[in-house]
Structures are given as C-alpha cells and as structure tokens.
C-alpha cells in the first residue's frame, strides 16, 4: 500500500478494520478472499515459493532493486515525495523523500531506513491489492497483504472502489502538511499550477508553473536512491494512470453489480449502471478533459524512452505509448492502459458497451474533442494492436 500517495477506498464506506469489504458488495466482488488472485505480487510470491524466482537483499536499499527487476518496473519511473503523509512520517523528510516506482500494474513505495516497502499490485478482476514486504534479509521473503488500510483509505475521490489517490499539499520546512491544494484533482485534467505540492520535480516544464520543489544537490542525497531525480514525465504519466486505474476498477465493479440480480434486479437499471461507468471511463481514456501544455516538457531521465519502448506498435510503427510532450502528454488520444491486464479483466457486458461506444466515437458518430486525423490514427492503431477490439470490429462492421 503506498500510504503516501496511493489511498485505498472501500465500497460505499462499508468496511471493517480487519475484515475488508462487507456484504452485499463483497458477495459480488469477493475482494476479501485470497483465492484466485492473479496480481503481479501473488504471481511473484508463487514463483519465489516454487524456487523459480528469488529476491536479493542489499544493505542500502534492501529488496528494492531486486523487486523492481522481478516486476519489470523501470528505475527511471522514480518519483520523490517529501510531504509527511505516510505512516513512516519520522523517516520521510525533504532530506529523505519517499520514492515511488511504477509500471502499468504495480506501484512500489520505498523510504530510506524504512522498515517495510509498500506495494500495490492490480488484480485483473478485483482491482488493487495492497502488500508490504519487510526490509529484513530473509531466506524466503514473504509479501503480506495489508487489509488494515481499509480503516481510513477510502472515499469519493477514488469513486468508492479500491483505488489510488495522488495528493498535492502545501508543506512546512520539515515536510509536515499545512493544507491540501483545493483546486487539485486526480488525473491529467488538473492544472499544472496545482500539481506536485510536496513532491520533488526534475526536468523542464516550459510556459507554465507547478508547486513541486526543484531537485538540487542541497535538497537530498541522491546517492541514497536508485536514480538521482524525480522525472516530470514520469510524474505526468503517473497522474494519468492512477485515475485510469480507478475508473477501470469502478467500471469493473459496476459491471459485476449489473450482472447480479440482487444488486440490480431491474434490467434497465443494470444497463444504466454499465453505461454510466463506461461513459466515464471512455471519456477519460480518450483524454476529453486533459489539461493542455503551454510549452514543451523535457524529462531528466530515460523514462520517456523506457516507457515508449514497451509498445505495442502497429504496422506503421505507431503506438499509444508514443509521447508528444509539446502540446499534450501523448501523441494519440487514447490511453495505453487499454492494453493493461486490468482493462482486459473487464466483464463482457462492459467490454461490449465500451467497444461499441469507442467505435462510434472514432468514426465521428459521437461528440469528442479528437480531430479527424487523431481519430483515424487511433482506430488504425487499435486494429493492429488490440486483437479483442479487432475481432469485435470484424463481427460488427459488416
């Protein structure tokens, strides 16, 4: 659990400290049950137990470097946050900020001198799962699922589902939070002037301002970390991804509730649940509310190159992971998270709704902020790179 920036949300505030989600929601979602999990940490733990993988402990960083390699999380994704909003507040200071690393399905939090790492791994069916890993050398390191975060880590900002929350706060000299930045909101729609209060930011944002602190040699000791900075491009991608994760989980839960007669006994209400959640996901996925860039952005690490290299690419070499960084974050207005296991895990009733609305939008049959060349490019890229969507197109275009 990334207690500093990634907040867990219970459903409709019906939670207990130790048990997790209660009926009737968990009767449908089965979030509390440990069986049939397929998140990256569960998979890695099985591999470790079977002797197929191992983690190496190092005196300075503990299991961090080894864990990132095992989960294929790039070191260049490192973000640094120094606001004292984590459980290990005595460890987090402007001199010793907390590091966050991520890929499409995993978020890893590490603090110098911390007793444990916090990890969020997204299960394709149930959503984010929260784990800790003790920073002690052990012959068989074990991840512990942390259900106690359900005590307080929920709320409307995560759509009342297991989710993530990035915060922007004003801080004192020691990193103590003095107040929230009220105008800030999760996702790519928030103005840059309201972003990254309590975070370090390295790289350039031309033509605009933000609340992040510049990385300098006097700010902290970069030798304590795997990377010397807090790349602005990684921060921007993280902002987009966490809300996309929340919307996918919300759409997943609503679709499952719609399939359950006890939750949605009225067919019209069931369809409305799917449509409402699906429309919210699709609007965000197509960057309808993205805050524009007023000038070019330049990162401070290899993150942009690392991120783009993970493809997939269409027959013309285009990818939804291609970055723009001049007038907007991505070159094409459709989220790369459409390739994520979380998106693939959406129930069939939600997928059918999304494919139809996506096709209608890309063909110009529904309102969108995308211009025609962008719509055509996205449709062509998805035909070549998203087999499930391509199969849907073949069945419905003629």
> Per-residue pLDDT tens for 254-291?
999 999 978 888 889 999 999 999 999 999 999 999 99
Local structure of residue 290 (DSSP, 8 states): P
Would you call 189 exposed, middle or buried from its count of C-beta atoms within 10 A (0-12, 13-18, 19+)?
A: middle
pLDDT confidence of residue 349: 96
344 pLDDT higher than 70: yes
pLDDT band at 11 (very low <50, low <70, confident <90, very high): very low
**Distance between CA atoms of residues 108 and 122, nearest Å:** 12
**pLDDT, the chain, mean:** 90
Which residue in this structure is represented by tokens 């790179």?
385
Q: For residue 149, what pLDDT is reported?
A: 58
Q: Give the pLDDT score at 22.
A: 57
- End-to-end, the C-alpha distance of the chain in Å comes to 47
- The arithmetic mean of pLDDT across residues 120-144, rounded, is 94
61-75 mean pLDDT? 98
pLDDT of residue 159: 80
* Backbone phi and psi for residue 104, each to the nearest 5 degrees, phi listed first: -70, -20
Q: What is the mean pLDDT of residues 238-257?
A: 96
Residue 366 scores a pLDDT above 90: no
User: So what's the pLDDT on residue 18?
Assistant: 42
Write down the pLDDT at residue 6. 41
Nearest to 213 by CA among 228, 197, 229: 197
Report which secondary-structure segment, H or E, holds 381: helix 372-385
Rounded to the nearest 5°, which phi and psi values hold at 95?
-80, -25
pLDDT score for 21: 65
Provide CB contacts within 8 A for 24, sequence distance 6+: 262, 263
Where helices occur in 214-371 by DSSP H, the ranges are 232-259, 267-285, 303-308, 341-344, 348-362
For 102, the enclosing helix (H) or strand (E) is strand 98-102
Q: What average pLDDT does range 305-334 have in this prediction?
A: 97
**The pLDDT of residue 154 is above 60:** no
Calculate the CA dihedral of residues 106, 109, 110, 111 and round it to 10 degrees: 170
């Amino acid at each position: 659990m990334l207690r500093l920036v990634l907040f867990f949300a219970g459903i409709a505030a019906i939670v207990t400290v130790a048990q997790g989600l209660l009926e009737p929601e968990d009767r449908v979602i089965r979030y509390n049950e440990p069986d049939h999990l397929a998140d990256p940490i569960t998979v890695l733990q099985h591999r470790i137990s079977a002797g197929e993988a191992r983690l190496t402990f190092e005196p300075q960083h503990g299991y961090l470097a080894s864990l990132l390699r095992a989960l294929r999380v790039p070191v260049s994704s490192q973000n640094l946050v120094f606001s004292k909003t984590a459980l290990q507040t005595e460890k987090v200071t402007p001199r010793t900020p907390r590091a966050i690393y991520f890929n499409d399905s995993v978020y890893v939090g590490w603090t110098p001198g911390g007793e444990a790492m916090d990890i969020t791994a997204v299960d394709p069916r149930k959503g984010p799962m929260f784990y800790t890993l003790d920073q002690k050398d052990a012959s068989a390191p074990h991840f512990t699922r942390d259900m106690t975060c359900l005590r307080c880590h929920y709320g409307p900002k995560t759509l009342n589902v297991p989710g993530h929350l990035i915060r922007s706060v004003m801080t004192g000299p020691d990193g103590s939070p003095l107040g929230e930045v009220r105008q800030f909101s999760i996702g790519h729609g928030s103005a840059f002037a309201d972003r990254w209060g309590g975070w370090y930011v390295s790289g350039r944002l031309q033509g605009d301002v933000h609340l992040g602190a510049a990385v300098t040699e006097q700010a902290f000791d970069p030798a304590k970390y795997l990377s010397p900075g807090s790349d602005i491009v990684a921060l921007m991608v993280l902002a987009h991804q966490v809300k996309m994760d929340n919307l996918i989980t919300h759409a997943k839960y609503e679709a499952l509730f719609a399939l359950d007669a006890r939750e949605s006994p009225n067919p019209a209400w069931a369809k409305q649940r799917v449509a409402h959640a699906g429309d919210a996901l699709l609007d965000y996925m197509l960057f309808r509310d993205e805050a524009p860039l007023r000038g070019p952005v330049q990162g401070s690490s290899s993150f942009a190159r690392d991120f783009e290299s993970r493809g997939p690419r269409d027959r013309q070499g285009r990818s939804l992971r291609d970055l723009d960084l001049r007038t907007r974050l991505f070159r094409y207005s459709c989220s790369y998270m459409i390739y994520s296991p979380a998106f693939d895990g959406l129930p069939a009733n939600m997928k059918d709704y999304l494919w139809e609305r996506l096709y209608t939008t890309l063909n110009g049959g529904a309102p969108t902020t995308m211009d025609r060349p962008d719509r055509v490019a996205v449709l062509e890229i998805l035909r070549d790179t998203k087999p499930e969507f391509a199969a849907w197109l073949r069945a419905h275009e003629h």
